[in-house]
Structure 1
Amino acid sequence: MLETLNWIERYFDEVTDAVFIFQEDHLLVSNQLAKNLQQELDLDPNYLAQVADASVKQKLAPTDDCFKCEIRSLMKDISIPITLAEDQPHPLSYFLIYHVIDTDNHVFSLTLKSRDIIERMDQLAQQRQLNQYVNRAHEEERKKISSDLHDSIAQGVYSAIMGVRRLREESLSADEIDELSQIIERELNDTLTEVKGMALDIRPSVLDNFGLLSALKVLAQRSQENSGVTVTVIGKADTDRLSSNVQSVLYRIAQESIHNALKHAEANEITILLVSHDHFINLEIIDDGVGFDVPAHRKFNGRSLGLMNMNERVKSLNGSFGIKSSPGNGTTVTAKFPVVGA
C-alpha cells in the first residue's frame, strides 16, 4: 500500500499539468509544476480559485451562492480560458479545469493545461484523421485503376490476342482474314482510347504543355461529351506563376467536383470559373444540381472521402477550400491559392 502511495505521489509531481487541490478556499496540496509556476510567475493560487468560483457561479447558479446545490454537483468539470503573465512579452495561455473531487467536503482541483499544447494535440489528431481519409482515397484510386486495367484494358488486349491466334492457327479465306483483321484493329483502337482516357484522368499532358486553363477546357469538353451535361469554362487567369503542384491540385478539384455533380447532383449545367487577382487565384465549380446538406456529409462516406481529400490537398499547399450547398440550391466548390511572387 505504501509503495502504491509513493507511485501516486510520484505521478502527481511529474504530471505535465499544474494541479492545485483546494478545500473551500484553502490550498491543500499542489504538484511540482504548480509550485514552479507559483514561484516563476508570482502566482497566487487563491486568484485561480476566485476565477474558478466566478465561472462556476456564472455557468451554473448565478443567483445562488450554495456550493452544495444540486445543479452544481451535477457538473463535475468546467473549462475556463485564462491568460497568465499578461504583462510579460510572452503571455501564457491556459485552460483552467475545475473538477469537483468531494462535494460534501467542498474539495476540488484546479488544473492548468497549456492551450498551445492542447491545440497542437488537436491538430495532430485532425492531421491523423485527414491522413487516414487521404490514404483511403489513394487506395480507392488505385483500386479503380486496377479494376479498369483488368475489366477493360486487359480484356481488350486478350480479345486481340485471340484474334491474332486465329489468324495464325486457322485456315481462313481471304474475306475471313480481312473481316477478322478489321475486328482486331477496332479492338486495339478501343483499347488505345481507353488507355488514353486513363492517362488523361491520371495526368493530362495538356496541363504540362499548355497550362491549367487549357487543361480545364479539355476536361470540360470530355465531361460534356461523355455525359451530355453542359460544362463551361470561364476565365482569363494567368497561371504562369502557379507551381506545378498547385495547378495539379486545382485540376483535381475541378475533376472531382465535376464527377460529384454528374454522379450525385443530377446537374444540367456545370460552370468552371478560374480568376486570377494580384495576390491570389480563385477556382469555382458551380452546378445547378439538387445540392446537399454539407454538415451531414462531414462524416465519412463516398462523397466526403473525395471532399476531405480535396480539402487536405489544398491545405497542404497553404490554400483555402470551401463548399457551399443546400438541398435544392446546387453546389459551389471554391479553392483559393496565393500567387507566388505576387
Structure 2
Amino acid sequence: MMQLPLILVVDDDPTNFEVIETFLEDQDYRLYYVNSGEAAIATLDHFEPDLILLDVMMPGLDGIEACRRIKAIPVGATIPVIMVTALSEKRDFARCFSAGANDFISKPINSIELLSRVRSMLLLREQYKQLQVFNSRLEATVQARTAQLQTLSVKLLEAQETERRFLAHELHDEIGQALTAIKISLRRLERWVTSPQASEPLEDCLTLVDGTLQQVRNISLDLRPSMLDDLGLVPTLRWYINRHAKRTGLHETLTCEALLQRLPTVTETACFRIVQEALTNIARHAQAQVVSVTLMQANHTLHLTIQDDGIGFDQNSLSRAQGTSLGILGMEERGMLIGGQLSIVSAPGQGTRIALQVPLAAPV
C-alpha cells in the first residue's frame, strides 16, 4: 500500500502549525511538526519527508540558515522546501532562494495558495522519485549489459587466441614441413642436375623457399609463440624482446624480478599481447632509441611497465579514430578484462610510459 505524502512543518509558533493543519485536513497528507530549525535537521536522521514547510523568522537558527543546512545534507538536497514568511522585500525572497528554497508562501497564509504550492511541490517530489526509480533500473540494465559485453569480450579474445594457436600450429607443422620437404627435394635435384643452365634457376628456387620458410616461421611465432603455453610469460617476453630488438634495431631491455607463482593463462596472454602491441607501436610511431620493459610482483599485484624515449604525443588531442589509439584501446580492454588497470603517460618530446597493474590472488 502506498504511503501518503509526509509534510514536515517547522515553526516556533504552534498556532501556525494548527492553521496549516486546518487548511490541509481534507487532503491525503501526513503532517509532522517541529518547533525549530535544529529539530528539523535532526529529524532527517530518522525519516525523509516529501515536503518541508519552513518558517523564516525563528529564534536561534532561522529558516534561511536551516534551509541552507538541510540542502547541504544528501538526503535533504532533493526535498522541496517552501519558505513561510511575513517578509515582503525582494531581497528577502532572493535570500530564501539562494539558500536552496524551492518556493515561498506569504503570511498570513491563504488556504488556496497553500494547497496550490503544496500540490505543486509534492508533484515535483513524486516526479523526482519516479526518475530515481527509472535511473536505478537504467543503471541496473547498463551494469547487466556491461557484464554481458565483458563476458563476450573475454570469449572473443579466448576464441582469437585459440584460432591463433591453431593457425600457428598449422603454419609450423603443415606448411613449414611442406616447405622443408620441397627444400630437401630441390637439394637432391641440385646434385643430380649437371646442366649449368639449370643450376641458376635451382638456386633461385632454394633462396625463395628459404625466405618463404622464414616468413612462415615468423608469422607462426607472432600469431602464438608455443613457449608462452609451455614456459610461461617471463621466458617468452625475454625471447620476444630480443627478437624484436634485432628486427628493429632498438635497444630493448627486460628487467624482471622472479615471480612467486605461475600466472593464470589469461593474465600471461594479456600481458604478452600488451607488450607486443606496445613494441609494435613504438617501432612504427615513437622514433625511439631505447625501450625498457619491467615486470615485477609486489603486494599481490603484478606490475608491467613499458617505457620509451621517443617523441611522445599529446594525450589530450589523441583521437580514437587514429590507428595508434585503436592499439591503445585494445591494450586498455585487455587490461580491464583481467581485472587490471592500464595507464598511459606521454607528452611531446618526453617519451611514453605504459603501466599495467593487475591484482593477483594470494599464493596458497
TM-score when normalising by structure 2: 0.55
Amino acid at match of 1:265: A
For residues 1-342 of structure 1, the aligned pairs below 5 Å read 44-46=49-51, 51-53=78-80, 62=98, 108=124, 109-112=127-130, 113-114=132-133, 117-123=137-143, 174-238=195-259, 240-297=261-318, 299-342=320-363
Runs of 4+ in structure 1 displaced over 6 angstroms?
127-136
Closer/same/farther in 2, CA of residues 301 and 116 from structure 1, 3 Å limit: farther
Q: For residues 128 and 262 of structure 1, what CA distance do their matches in structure 2 show?
A: 35
Closer/same/farther in 2, CA of residues 190 and 111 from structure 1, 3 Å limit: same
After superposition, the C-alpha distances for 1:84-111 in whole angstroms (9 at most, x for unaligned) are xxxxxxxxxxxxxxxxxxxxx8874323
Any unmatched runs of 5+ in structure 2? 6-23, 29-45, 53-74, 82-92, 105-119, 168-174
Aligned 8 A contact 1:133 1:309 in 2: no
Closer/same/farther in 2, CA of residues 129 and 289 from structure 1, 3 Å limit: farther
* 1:216 CA displacement: 1.1
Aligned 8 A contact 1:49 1:110 in 2: no
Percent identity (aligned): 23
* 1:208 CA displacement: 2.4
* Secondary structure of 2:292 counterpart: strand
Q: For residues 97 and 288 of structure 2, what CA distance do their matches in structure 1 show?
A: 53
After superposition, the C-alpha distances for 1:97-139 in whole angstroms (9 at most, x for unaligned) are xxxxxxxx88743234256544444445666888999979x99
Query: Structure 1 or 2: larger strand share?
Result: 1
Amino acid at match of 1:286: Q
Cα RMSD between the aligned structures? 5.0
Aligned 8 A contact 1:281 1:338 in 2: yes
Closer/same/farther in 2, CA of residues 329 and 182 from structure 1, 3 Å limit: same
Amino acid at match of 1:230: H
Any unmatched runs of 5+ in structure 1? 1-19, 21-25, 30-40, 69-104, 147-153
Q: For residues 144 and 347 of structure 2, what CA distance do their matches in structure 1 show?
A: 31
* 1:67 CA displacement: 5.4
Amino acid at match of 1:242: L
* Secondary structure of 2:98 counterpart: coil
Amino acid at match of 1:51: T
Q: For residues 130 and 292 of structure 1, what CA distance do their matches in structure 2 show?
A: 29
Q: For residues 227 and 300 of structure 1, what CA distance do their matches in structure 2 show?
A: 26
Q: For residues 301 and 76 of structure 2, what CA distance do their matches in structure 1 show?
A: 49
Q: Which structure is larger by alpha-carbon Rg, 1 or 2?
A: 2
RCO comparison, higher one (Cα < 8 Å, 6+): 1
Give the paired residue count: 259
* 1:240 CA displacement: 3.7
Closer/same/farther in 2, CA of residues 215 and 110 from structure 1, 3 Å limit: same
* 1:64 CA displacement: 8.3
* Secondary structure of 2:263 counterpart: coil
TM-score when normalising by structure 1: 0.58
